[in-house]
Amino acid sequence: MRDKRSGELPHWPLHVFALLMVGITVYPILWVLTIAFSGGQSLSIADLPPDPSAADRLRAIAPWPEQLSIENFRSLFADQPFARWLGNSVIVATLTTVLGIVLACTAAYAFSRFRFPGRRAMLMSFLVSQMFPGTLTLVAIYIIVVQWLHLGSTYVGLVLVYATIAIPFCVWMMKGYFDTIPRELEESALIDGASQATIFFRIILPLAKPAVAVTALFSFMTGWNEFILAATLMDREAMYTGPVGLRFFVSGYSEQWGYFAAGSIVAAIPVMALFMVLQKYLVSGLTAGAVKG
């Protein structure tokens, strides 16, 4: 029999590799921080002399600004309409979450607790709908929302679209959780004379609080980060959401990388923190969905 240690690889090359990967993952984030705190709008970290040496070039990639300044953050809120765009995102994402949760909870409860004609077909259609390419429905959604309902560049239009698009994922996730709540609870409540509504609101929902919270946070993040629909449906500058506004800073002939970097940090930090807390739920939800789909 071999020695126990001989089967192990030495750890230091693994550390080197892991550290290299950490460098690659962290560098773009440090780069954004550098640009944001540089106080300027330039893409480059340092101005290069006409005939730069290798040391100059190294300086130009080192993620530390030439001078530290919070001017970009101040100006972002004082001179640019970013507060307005962020506010739009807050409103849209919050309303999406509320509406999405109401729609998903009720439907998921019915799918979990009742056996009724059409149940299987509905659940299947939810899954198939996940396969519809966004661009196919996008043209029709644009025509329906903007040309027929005249809801272009309004909160209502975008919220309705976000909330419905999130339904299948939320329903499958909530249904999975409802399935784990024992039926005996409801049966004894029924015997005690409670109505269906009472059971749902007083017994099931309080028990499902963790699932509701997780689903809510995920729909909030979807509404907060979504880009394509917002860019398509919100074409008035005052109605831009955060993502559309951030792209506005660096698209076309506009090269305001300082504003973009500062805005990205403001917009991304809350959702990144949320994500770090919630990622283990997301993983289980996604893989469960994939196995079923």
Partner 1 sequence: MSPTDRPASLSRRFTVAVAVASLVGVGLGALLLDAARGGQQRARAERLAVVSLNALTAVVDRVWGSEDTKEGEGDFGLGDELAALEQPAETTKDPGAAIRGAVDSFAAAHSEAVAIRVVALDGARLVASTADRAAPAPRRLSVDEKAIFDLAQSLRAAVAGNREGAEGAARAEEIAVERRGGGLLSVAGPVERHGVVVGMVQMETRPAAAKGVFAWLVTLLALIGPTLVFLLLSRVAGERRRALALVGAALVIAALALFGRTALGTLSAERFATEEAVAARVAEEGAKTGLSPAAWDVDRFRQPQPAPEAAEERDLRRMTRSVLTLSVFALLLLAYVGFGGARRSWRAMVDYHVAYAYVTPAILGMLVLVFFPFLYGFALSFTNANLYNSDQSVFDLWVGLDNFIDILSDFKFAQRTPEGVVYDYTNFYWTLGFTVVWTITNVSIGVSLGLILALILNQRGFRGKAFYRVLLILPWATPTYITALVWRGMFHQQFGVVNQIVQIFGHAPIAWYDSPLTSFAAVLTTNGWLSFPFMMVISLGALQSIPGDLYEAARVDGAGRWQQFRSITLPSLRPALVPAVIISVIWTFNQFTVIYLVSAGQPAGATEILVTESYKLAFEQYRYGYAAAYSVIIFLFLLAYGTWQNKVTKGTEAIAG
Nearest by Cα to 168 from 235, 103, 237, 238: 103
Locate the DSSP E strands across the chain: none
Residue 229 vs 239, nearer CB to partner 1: 229
- Contact between 281 and partner 1 by CB under 8 A: the answer reads no
Residues 15-74 that bind partner 1 (CB under 8 A): 15, 17-18, 21-22, 24-26, 28-29, 31-32, 35, 42-45, 52, 54, 57-58, 60-61
- Contact between 191 and partner 1 by CB under 8 A: the answer reads no
- Contact between 156 and partner 1 by CB under 8 A: the answer reads no
Nearest by Cα to 226 from 262, 271, 269: 271
* The binder of partner 1 chosen from 92, 158, 159, 163 (CB under 8 A): 163
The residues, ordered by sequence, that sit 6+ positions from 183 with a Cβ below 8 Å of its Cβ are 113
- Contact between 211 and partner 1 by CB under 8 A: the answer reads no
Q: What are phi and psi of 178, to 5 degrees?
A: -60, -35
Q: Rounded to an integer, what distance in angstroms lies between the CA atom of residue 88 and that of residue 50?
A: 44
- Contact between 141 and partner 1 by CB under 8 A: the answer reads yes
CA dihedral of residues 22, 27, 30, 31 (deg, nearest 10): -170
* The binder of partner 1 chosen from 77, 155, 275, 281 (CB under 8 A): 275
Q: Rounded to an integer, what distance in angstroms lies between the CA atom of residue 207 and that of residue 204?
A: 5
Residues 70-109 that bind partner 1 (CB under 8 A): 102-104, 106-107, 109
- Contact between 127 and partner 1 by CB under 8 A: the answer reads yes
Q: Rounded to an integer, what distance in angstroms lies between the CA atom of residue 120 and that of residue 111?
A: 9
CB 70 to partner 1: min, Å:
20
- Contact between 189 and partner 1 by CB under 8 A: the answer reads no
Q: Rounded to an integer, what distance in angstroms lies between the CA atom of residue 56 and that of residue 138?
A: 48
Query: Do 228 and 142 meet the contact criterion of CB atoms below 8 Å apart?
Result: no
Residue 37 vs 257, nearer CB to partner 1: 257
**Amino acid symbol at 203:** I
The interface mask with partner 1, positions 240-259, x = CB under 8 A, is: ---x--xx--x------x--
CB 152 to partner 1: min, Å:
13
- Contact between 110 and partner 1 by CB under 8 A: the answer reads yes
* The binder of partner 1 chosen from 68, 150, 179, 202 (CB under 8 A): 179
